[in-house]
Structure formats: structure tokens, C-alpha cells
A and B are shown apart, each in its own frame.
Chain A
């Protein structure tokens, strides 16, 4: 190490112009190599950016379609497939699922009531017919 330091000091004292010229060329070479590296990496960076853009588009599509979907399960499946899990998203989809559940339950109760009504009407009609036949 001391020999190296001594060599460096001697070069600096006795050949300062050569030392600074070498330093200058080495720094230029370094800049060129770094810029080439950046250019080569830029393609990969571009690809990654495009991928991110496409996933963002898909997420936007899912958001637009989420109101139209009755079932929230496939939506959440895509959501997990894309690995877009965050606290805000989970809260959001839990509230959506809760609203969907209430909606479905209301519709089912409605249909059940309608079914009971129709059945009751049928029974009533049957009873009416039987009474008429007896009379």
C-alpha cells in the first residue's frame, strides 16, 4: 500500500500534467462507458415501463367493469392474479363485496317473496276450484 501511495505522490509531484491528462482520459472513458450502459439498459427499462402501463390499463378496465358485475368473486380473483394488494384496495373491495351481498340478499328475498306469492295464488286458485266442484 505504501509503495502505491509513494508511486501516486511521485507521479503527482514530478509528472503533474501527465497525471491530470490520465485522470481526464479515464474520466471521459468512464462517462462513455456509463452512457453506453444506460443506452443498453434503456430498452429493458422501456419494456418494464410498457408492462407497467398495460397492467395499469387492465386495472382501469377492471374498475370500469366492477359496477356491471354482479358477482365480485371473479373481480377479486383477477385482483389477486395481478398481485395488486394494498390496504386501500382491500378495504375498497371489502366494501364493494358487502354492498353486493346486501343487494343479492335483497333480490333473493324479493324473488322468494314473489315465489311464495305465486304459490299462494296457485293454492288459492286450487282451493277455489275444489270448492266450486263440491258445490
Chain B
């Protein structure tokens, strides 16, 4: 009887953790406003500006912060494009947004290799952002039908893989099986 109670408690705790906590966190996190959308003519200029900024940033931790901001903005822009009905462009933008998150993983690794400590607030933001991104990808999946749905599913999968990398970088010993 006691064993079943303990198991029940663990199960409910797991449920609380995986179901309620991410949702509660997702509500707290708000994405940055993207400004000019990719359907604008001057969007290319903005991309160029962002590339220049990326090159100009000195601190590797700040690069992680920049990648996160860019991922947030691009994914939010993708959502706005879906709302506008520009699905093809939205798919590309979602992929580019997730690519920013992949860059974040690389920069996260570089920062750790350079001996920089990632602030806990930024770490928390990275986790919250993933939850929010996945929530948006799910919303877009539901809003779109056909091939578009497949792309958003793939992007969602990428997002999970990327977050797996981040978790691996946070706890390198556990992932190595030690």
C-alpha cells in the first residue's frame, strides 16, 4: 500500500513538473517584438545589420543573449506571418529562427570553453524561451494544414534537439554516463 502511495506521489510530482510548471513558466515569458517583418523590402538590410552586430559583440555571453533575442524575434515574426496568411515565408522564417537557437547552442559552448560563466537569469531565459518557442510551433502547426504542418513539426523537433544539447552542456557529467 505504501509502495503504491509513493509511486502515486512520484507520478503526480512528475505530472506537475512536466505538465503544469512548463505552462506556468511559458506564461511568464514574452517574446520581443520583431519590428520589420520578412515580407518587407528593407528586411534584408535589417539582416545585414544583425550580422554586423553579431560580429561586433565582444563578450561570448552577450553573443548567447543576442542569439536568444534574435531567435525570439524571428519565431515571433514567423507567427505574425502565419496570422497574415503568408505560410511559405513563415516556414522559412521559423527555420531561420530555430537556426538562431542552434547558433545559441554553439555560442553557449564557446562561452563555456572560454571559461565564462553563464548567468542563472540567462540560463532560465533560455529554458523559458524553448518552452515558448515550442508552444508557438504547436500553435502554427494547428493553424496550418498540409506540407506547412510538416515543416513546423520538424522545426519543433529541432527545438527539442537543441534544448537537449543545452541540457548536455549544463550537465556534461550526466550526459557522459558518469
Contact = CB atoms under 8 A, between A and B. Distances in A.
B59 A9 contact: yes
Interface in B27-60: 49-50, 53, 56-59
A20 interface: yes
B9 to A, nearest CB: 44
Contacts of A9: 57-59, 62
Interface in B51-95: 53, 56-59, 62, 65-66, 69
B59 A16 contact: no
Given A13-B65, A13-B66, A6 B49 contact: no
A4 to B, nearest CB: 10
A22 B49 CA distance: 15
Contacts of B69: 13
Interface residues of A, number: 9
Q: How large is the interface on B (under 10, 10 to 19, 20 to 34, 35 or more residues)?
A: 10 to 19
A8 interface: yes
A12 B59 CA distance: 12
A72 B150 CA distance: 101
Nearest to B46: A16
A20 B59 CA distance: 19
B58 A8 contact: yes
Nearest to B50: A16
A6 B69 CA distance: 16
A10 interface: yes
Interface in A1-19: 5-6, 8-10, 12-13, 16
B49 A12 contact: no
Contacts of A10: 62
Interface of B: 49-50, 53, 56-59, 62, 65-66, 69
23 contacts: A5-B58, A5-B59, A6-B59, A6-B62, A8-B58, A9-B57, A9-B58, A9-B59, A9-B62, A10-B62, A12-B53, A12-B56, A12-B57, A13-B53, A13-B57, A13-B62, A13-B65, A13-B66, A13-B69, A16-B49, A16-B50, A16-B53, A20-B49
Please give me the 6 A-B residue pairs with the lowest Cβ-Cβ distance, nearest first.
Answer: A9-B62, A13-B66, A9-B59, A5-B58, A9-B57, A12-B53
